[in-house]
Amino acid sequence: MNLEAGNVCSVRLAVGETVRITNGPGDQVIDTWAFNANDPTEFMGMEHCRAWWLKLRPEVGDSFVTNRHNPLLKMVADTSAGEHDTVIACCNPDRYRVLGAEEGHANCQENLHRELSEQGMASAVTPCPLNLWMNIPSVGSNGLGREVPTKKPGSYVELEALAPALVVFSACPMDLLPINGVDGPKDGVRVEVI
């Protein structure tokens, strides 16, 4: 399926199934969450993953664990420059309010919960997402940068399910900061179970 900028979609994966997310010109950040398909109180936790990885960004071969430290997904391919962020919270209404946007700005948090509802699920929390193609480099010994995505048109990431999962993708609508490129979000991505 095609996921347009600002929109949300999800896929259900059985064990061993893989979803491929293919970017367009390389400027669109995709906020990605994964939940235990049978229990949404268990979800992929970036802070839990980093406890195992001891690094900021995932690489091919790395597994993603849940808030209960059970393996849920595995990155099995990545043809991008690997600039995926695991640190920054998803955009939400308050983020846009403080940045001065008009009320009602599309945001990833509401996208997530709307998609969960459409899938008959709910979560009391908004986990920190895996921000695919979001370029937050580490700087010096204790800094983070905020850069535009590294353009690599058509690059893709593949995530394999290690347990039954509902994976949610929000094509981030952020247009007040240049995380989606200086022109803002404009290009969708392709999401397919392969």
Residues that bind Zn ion (CB under 5 A): 91, 108, 172, 174
- Nearest-angstrom CA–CA distance, 189 and 92: 21
Rounded to a whole number of angstroms, the minimum distance from the CB of residue 95 to Zn ion is 8
- Hey, CA dihedral for 181, 44, 114, 118, is it positive or negative? positive
Closer Cβ to Zn ion, 121 or 174, answer by number: 174
What is the identity of the amino acid at 142?
Answer: N
Closer Cβ to Zn ion, 40 or 185, answer by number: 185
- Nearest-angstrom CA–CA distance, 85 and 124: 23
Closer Cβ to Zn ion, 74 or 146, answer by number: 146
Rounded to a whole number of angstroms, the minimum distance from the CB of residue 185 to Zn ion is 9
Rounded to a whole number of angstroms, the minimum distance from the CB of residue 153 to Zn ion is 21
Closer Cβ to Zn ion, 79 or 126, answer by number: 126
Rounded to a whole number of angstroms, the minimum distance from the CB of residue 131 to Zn ion is 8
Q: Are 58 and 49 in contact (CB under 8 A)?
A: yes
Instruction: List the one residue out of 109, 73, 69, 75 whose CA is nearest residue 93.
Output: 109
